[in-house]
């Protein structure tokens, strides 16, 4: 089953990369604010069903993919094939 993990800097955590990108975008003439930079991890998970896959990916996030002190994560599972 395909899963995607989105890892983001938590609210209120300084994100200098996001700030630098935001200022570059402004220099290009775009009117933007609030740029934040995170990370996307695409995975193929070997699991019996969606619930098991989600539980497995949760464990991956807790153990490795995100640092809970500064990052939050979201898990998206691909719709099961008919």
Partner 1 sequence: MTSPQPRIGVVRFPGACDDRDALWALSALDAEALFVWHTETELPDLDAVVLPGGFSYGDYLRCGAIARFAPAMEAVVEFASAGGLVLGICNGFQILCEAGLLPGVLRRNESLSFVCRDVPVLVERSDTPFTTRCEEGRVLTIPVKHGEGNWYADDELYAELEARRQIVLRYREPVNGSLDEVAGVVNERGNVMGLMPHPEHAVDPLLGSADGALILSSLVESARERALAAV
Give yes or no for residue 16 binding partner 1 (CB under 8 A).
yes
Give yes or no for residue 23 binding partner 1 (CB under 8 A).
no
* Least gap, CB of 6 to partner 1 (angstroms): 14
DSSP label at 30?
Answer: -
Which of 28, 40, 48, 64 binds partner 1 (CB under 8 A)? It is 64
d(CA 71, CA 1): 24
d(CA 70, CA 55): 21
Which of 51, 52, 55, 67 binds partner 1 (CB under 8 A)? It is 67
Give yes or no for residue 3 binding partner 1 (CB under 8 A).
no
Going 61 to 64 to 66 to 67, the CA torsion angle's sign is positive
Rule CB under 8 A: which residues touch partner 1?
13-14, 16-17, 20, 64-65, 67, 69-70
């Amino acid at each position: 089953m395909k899963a995607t993990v989105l890892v983001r800097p938590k609210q209120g955590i300084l994100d200098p990369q996001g700030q630098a990108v935001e200022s570059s975008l402004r220099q290009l003439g775009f009117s933007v604010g609030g740029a934040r930079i995170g990370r996307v991890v695409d995975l193929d998970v070997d699991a019996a069903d969606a619930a098991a896959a989600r539980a497995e990916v949760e464990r991956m996030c807790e153990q490795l993919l995100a640092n809970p002190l500064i990052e939050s994560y979201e898990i998206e599972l691909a719709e099961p094939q008919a």
